[in-house]
């Protein structure tokens, strides 16, 4: 009976003994592993160790120093430029190195080999960020050698411009070019190197010099609208049956846009245009073919009768019309007008004086009012009446004509060329013939009373007087 009780007890003791032995063996094994790893980590980095996100697990300091130096030497910063071009800046070109000069024992020293298990609970001891440094002067010199700063490759940015076409002005888009702001690029490259970034998109960092305005800028749109307002003007100058059309095809040549996009009107060009009109249509002093009362066509030159455009006023008026964008038909402003336009601007109301025949005719609206013999300037005393076509300046009744050594009262006085005019000459008993050669006037047209009266009663200021 006693033997039967002892057997289970002996068996239980044996089981306990095995458990104890197993525990002792396990503890010993763990101790061996622990101390073995402690010995290992005495010269090696913890598992999971990283420097600047580079895995250095289980490596000794010497190997890590070489690895990190190699990693830094292989550093390349890629610059993505406009137009799909790329350039690189390499570590050796800027003297890139770690602040610690490549010695990473500091991290290893922080890793107590007997606390290697703590890495599973706190990874701070296994991580390290090591800063880098570079030679600023070398970096500036390297930037200077980039092809994007070579003047041959630089396309300057340009603001929008304007082009005139048949329908008016259109905006020519701005040119972005590829000119780089070196200061902006330097700052971004410097930051990228410090942070060991490998790529810079130069477009995204806004380092390109931009044009001041784009085609959609309000200032550009306003300038275009102003230009079109001007060139949409249409001015039709009328000269009798002749017309001169001025529109955008000419006006656009008078316009420019300055660097501030202010539309400039070249007044000198407008003046030149009015000068051309004056040359073409002014008739004062021009040669005219005049059909005389005898039926012969005579070329008459000189005098002050005819059309004369007021150039200064018309230049100013035209600029104002264009700036208002008007469409208008008009005559130019005149200093002096004639009775008709065209080649025969004398019209059909005029005084005709034949200096050779010493005869005068006066026509009004094409009808002969009066005619008769006259006496003109004395040839022998060099008081010859000049030829030409003149304008009657005024008419006066009961005037006294005065000169050197004489005072002659007349009933009808009608000056047309300075002190020369038509008047009655009561002191003469006869007219015409050759009297003028030796006993002529001081240049005036001496007329019989009836003739002078007929002219005076029917003539108006501005009527032409044709002398030939």
Q: How far apart are CA 186 and CA 191, in angstroms?
A: 9
Structure tokens belonging to residue 349: 């109301």
Determine the Cα–Cα distance for residues 141 and 389; give it in Å rounded to an integer: 84
Q: What distances in angstroms separate CA 348 from CA 45, 260, 460, one per listed residue? A: 122, 57, 13
Residue 385, C-beta contacts closer than 8 angstroms, at least 6 positions apart: 353, 355, 376, 377, 420, 441, 443, 444, 445, 467
Cα separation, 256 vs 88, whole angstroms: 44
pLDDT of amino acid 11: 65
Q: For residue 447, count CB atoms less than 10 angstroms from its CB and return exposed for 0-12, middle for 13-18, buried for 19 or more.
A: buried
**How does DSSP classify residue 431?**
-
pLDDT number for residue 17: 81
Helix, coil or strand: residue 234: strand
What are the φ and ψ backbone dihedral angles of 231, each rounded to 5 degrees?
A: -75, -15
Longest CA–CA separation in the chain, Å:
202
Helix and strand totals (H; E) in the chain = 11, 28
Per the DSSP assignment, residues forming a β-bridge with 89 are 77
pLDDT at 446: 98
3-state secondary structure of 166: coil
Tens of pLDDT along the chain (468 residues) come to 455 556 666 666 777 788 878 788 877 777 767 666 667 666 676 676 766 667 776 667 667 667 666 778 889 999 999 999 999 999 999 999 887 765 566 655 666 666 666 666 566 656 656 668 899 999 999 999 999 999 999 999 999 999 999 889 999 999 999 999 999 999 999 999 998 899 999 999 999 999 999 999 999 999 999 999 999 999 999 999 999 999 999 999 999 999 999 999 999 999 999 999 999 999 999 999 999 999 999 999 999 999 999 999 999 999 999 999 999 999 999 999 999 998 889 999 999 999 999 999 999 999 999 999 999 999 999 999 999 999 999 999 999 999 888 899 999 999 999 999 999 999 999 999 999 999 999 999 999 999 999 999 999 999 999 999
Kindly state the tokens that stand for 273. Answer: 């245009």
Q: What is the pLDDT of residue 16?
A: 75
Give CA 101 to chain center in angstroms.
Answer: 57
Q: What is the pLDDT of residue 40?
A: 65
Residue 176 CA to residue 186 CA, distance in Å, equals 21
Nearest to 162 by CA among 91, 104, 215, 99: 215
pLDDT at res. 5: 54
The tokens describing 60, both together, are 């000794």
CA angle 193, 198, 199 (to 5 degrees): 105
Q: Residue 437 in contact with residue 380, Cβ under 8 Å?
A: yes
Q: What are phi and psi of 165, to 5 degrees?
A: -125, -175
* pLDDT score for 308: 97
Stated pTM of the model: 0.71
Residue 320: both structure tokens together: 């104002």
434 — phi, psi (to 5°)? -105, 10
């Amino acid at each position: 009976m006693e033997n039967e009780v002892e057997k289970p007890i002996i068996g239980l003791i044996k089981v306990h003994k095995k458990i104890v032995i197993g525990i002792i063996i396990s503890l010993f094994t763990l101790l061996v592993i622990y101390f073995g790893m402690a010995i290992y980590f005495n010269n090696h980095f913890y598992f999971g160790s990283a420097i600047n996100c580079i895995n250095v697990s289980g490596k000794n300091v010497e190997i890590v120093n070489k690895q990190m130096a190699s990693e830094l030497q292989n550093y390349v910063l890629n610059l993505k430029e406009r137009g799909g071009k790329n350039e690189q800046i390499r570590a050796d070109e800027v003297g890139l190195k770690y602040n610690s000069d490549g010695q990473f024992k500091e991290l290893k020293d922080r890793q107590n080999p007997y606390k290697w298990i703590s890495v599973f609970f706190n990874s701070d001891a296994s991580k390290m960020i090591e800063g880098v440094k570079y030679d600023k002067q070398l970096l500036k010199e390297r930037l200077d050698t980039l092809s994007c700063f070579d003047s041959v490759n630089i396309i300057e940015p340009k603001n929008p411009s304007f082009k005139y076409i048949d329908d008016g002005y259109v905006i020519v888009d701005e040119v972005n070019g590829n000119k780089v702001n070196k200061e902006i690029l330097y700052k971004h490259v410097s930051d990228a190197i410090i942070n060991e970034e490998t790529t810079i998109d130069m477009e995204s960092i806004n380092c390109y010099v931009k044009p001041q305005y784009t085609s959609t800028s309000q200032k550009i749109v306003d300038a275009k609208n102003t230009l079109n307002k001007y060139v949409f003007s249409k001015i039709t100058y009328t000269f009798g049956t002749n017309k001169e059309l001025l529109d955008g095809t000419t006006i656009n040549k008078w316009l420019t846009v300055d660097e501030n996009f202010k539309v400039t009107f070249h007044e000198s060009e407008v003046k030149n245009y009015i000068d051309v009109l004056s040359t073409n249509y002014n008739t004062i002093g021009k040669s005219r073919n005049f059909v005389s009362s005898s039926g012969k066509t005579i070329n008459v030159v000189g005098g002050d009768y005819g059309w004369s455009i007021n150039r200064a006023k018309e230049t100013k008026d035209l600029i104002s019309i264009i700036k208002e964008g008007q469409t208008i038909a008009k005559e130019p402003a005149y200093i002096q007008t004639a009775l008709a336009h065209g080649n025969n601007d004398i019209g059909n109301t005029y005084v005709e004086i034949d200096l050779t025949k010493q005869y005068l005719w006066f026509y009004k609206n094409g009808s002969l009012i009066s005619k008769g013999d006259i006496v003109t300037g004395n040839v022998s005393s060099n008081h010859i009446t000049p030829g030409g076509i003149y304008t009657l300046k005024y008419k006066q009744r009961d005037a006294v004509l005065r000169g050197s050594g004489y005072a002659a009262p007349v009933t009808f006085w009608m000056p047309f060329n300075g002190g020369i005019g038509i008047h009655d000459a009561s002191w003469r008993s006869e007219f015409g013939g050759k009297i003028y050669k030796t006993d002529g006037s001081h240049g005036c047209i001496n007329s019989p009373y009836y003739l002078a009266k007929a002219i005076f009663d029917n003539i108006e200021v501005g009527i032409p007087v044709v002398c030939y």
